[in-house]
């Protein structure tokens, strides 16, 4: 799946469509620039890892993708991001954009609705009213998020009453519920135990055939396990983008990347 782009990892290979194109991206909060001069393409059906220490701009990048900069008047986004080759900052209907992009935030947010309603929320927003269809979606998404077995007997209890790890899986199920074309996970495993993390990782590998995934992670090894290509963000810039294996086998262009993945700093 990743072979052809080995020559120039930052460029789009001809046979793989660009899902998300990032050009000269600059993100600032007020006068402080937190991400500058970032350019890369994310291809359809790949898992794209983003690693880097705290405050490297990883989360801000995700916010810029689905136009959550709208919520923060301080945040300005320069350069361009394209989704399906459409510039996201030119989009008139941002809700339509967000319905194609699923996001999972680091801290789980179980909405104060029943477990069922949490997962059925997005399909219902999209106009799905058929109970049988919703049942299927809810079961499929909860199964994929490795939560179905634990909650199938109490789908009507409150989602906000689940434990932290369960809420995180509920959040993932919710993000999957509108069949996103792009799934962005921001340190999803932060509140999840290792066994469950592994189960979700297996699901992500399966999802790759249907969805493009951006995986922001603190765990370097998680990026290695999952990501086809990985970008390394450091101090407000993207140090390098490459095949994940290359980053770990020493085929790196930048010494800082080597130091980071080998755990010498960060």
Partner 1 sequence: MERQSTGAVAGVDSSFDQLNRDWYIDKAVQILVFLGGISAIVFIIGIFIFISKEGFGFLVGDFNFREFFFSPNWRPTSESRETFGILALIAGTASVTGLAMLIAIPFSLGAAIFIAEFASGKTREFLKVTVELLAAIPSVVWGFIGLAIMNPVIIQTFDVPVGLNVLNAGVILGLMAAPIMTSIAEDALKAVPDRYREAAEAMGATRWQVIYKVVLPAAKNGLLGAVLLGVGRGFGETMAVLMATGHSINIPTSVFDSVRALTATIAAELGETAAGSSHYQALFTIGIFLFVITFIINLAADLIVRGIRKG
Pairing status of strand 212-216 against strand 182-186: parallel
* Beta strand segments in 12-90, E: 18-29, 32-43, 47-51, 75-83, 86-87
In the complex with partner 1, the residue whose CB is nearer, 86 or 136, is 86
> Which of these segments, 67-75, 86-94, 113-121, 213-221, binds partner 1 (CB under 8 A)?
86-94
In the complex with partner 1, the residue whose CB is nearer, 23 or 258, is 23
Q: Binding marks (x or -) toward partner 1, 225..264, rule CB under 8 A?
A: ----------------------------------------
Burial 71-104 (b: 16+ CB within 10 A, else e): eeeebebebebbbeeeebeeeeeeeebbbebbbb
In the complex with partner 1, the residue whose CB is nearer, 58 or 98, is 98
Distance in Å, CB of 48 to partner 1, minimum: 15
**Residue with structure tokens 């993390």?**
197
Q: Please tell me whether residue 76 binds partner 1 under the rule CB under 8 A.
A: no
Q: Binding marks (x or -) toward partner 1, 4..33, rule CB under 8 A?
A: -----------xxxx---------------
Query: How far is the first Cα of the chain from the last one, in angstroms, to the nearest whole number?
Result: 30
Pairing status of strand 75-83 against strand 18-29: antiparallel
Which of 162, 114, 151, 119 lies closest to 137, judged by CA?
A: 119
**What CA–CA distance (Å, rounded) separates 101 from 90?**
16
> Which of these segments, 55-63, 91-99, 110-118, 251-259, binds partner 1 (CB under 8 A)?
91-99
Question: Which residues are registered as beta bridge partners of 255?
Answer: none
Distance in Å, CB of 51 to partner 1, minimum: 25
Q: How many CA atoms lie within 13 A of 69 on its CB side?
A: 19
Among 26, 75, 99, 121, binds partner 1 (CB under 8 A): 99
Among 30, 71, 73, 93, binds partner 1 (CB under 8 A): 93
Among 7, 71, 95, 131, binds partner 1 (CB under 8 A): 95
Phi and psi at 139, nearest 5°, equal -65, -45
Tokens of 76: 């300005």
Q: Please tell me whether residue 96 binds partner 1 under the rule CB under 8 A.
A: yes
Distance in Å, CB of 60 to partner 1, minimum: 21
Interacting residues toward partner 1 by CB under 8 A:
1, 15-18, 44-45, 84-86, 91-93, 95-97, 99-100, 125
């Amino acid at each position: 799946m990743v072979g052809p782009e080995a020559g120039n990892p930052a460029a789009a290979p001809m046979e793989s469509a660009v899902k998300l194109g990032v050009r000269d991206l600059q993100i600032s909060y007020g006068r402080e620039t937190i991400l500058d001069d970032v350019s890369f393409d994310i291809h359809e059906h790949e898992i794209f890892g983003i690693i880097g220490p705290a405050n490297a701009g990883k989360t801000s990048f995700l916010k810029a993708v689905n136009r959550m900069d709208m919520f923060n008047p301080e945040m300005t986004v320069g350069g361009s991001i394209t989704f399906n080759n459409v510039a996201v900052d030119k989009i008139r209907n941002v809700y339509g954009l967000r319905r194609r992009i699923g996001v999972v935030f680091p801290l789980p947010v179980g909405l104060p609705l029943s477990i069922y309603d949490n997962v059925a929320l997005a399909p219902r927003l999209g106009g799905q009213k058929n109970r049988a269809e919703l049942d299927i979606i809810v079961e499929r998404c909860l199964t994929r998020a490795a939560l179905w077995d634990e909650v199938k007997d109490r789908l009507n209890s409150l989602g906000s009453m689940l434990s932290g790890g369960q809420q995180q899986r509920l959040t993932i199920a919710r993000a999957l519920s509108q069949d996103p074309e792009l799934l962005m996970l921001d340190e999803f495993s932060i509140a999840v135990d290792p066994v469950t993390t592994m189960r979700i990782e297996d699901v992500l590998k399966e999802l790759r055939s249907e969805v493009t995934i951006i995986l922001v992670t603190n765990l370097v090894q998680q990026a290695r396990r999952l990501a086809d290509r990985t970008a390394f963000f450091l101090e407000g810039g993207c140090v390098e983008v490459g095949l994940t294996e290359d980053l770990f086998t020493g085929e790196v262009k930048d010494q800082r990347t080597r130091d980071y993945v080998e755990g010498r700093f960060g």
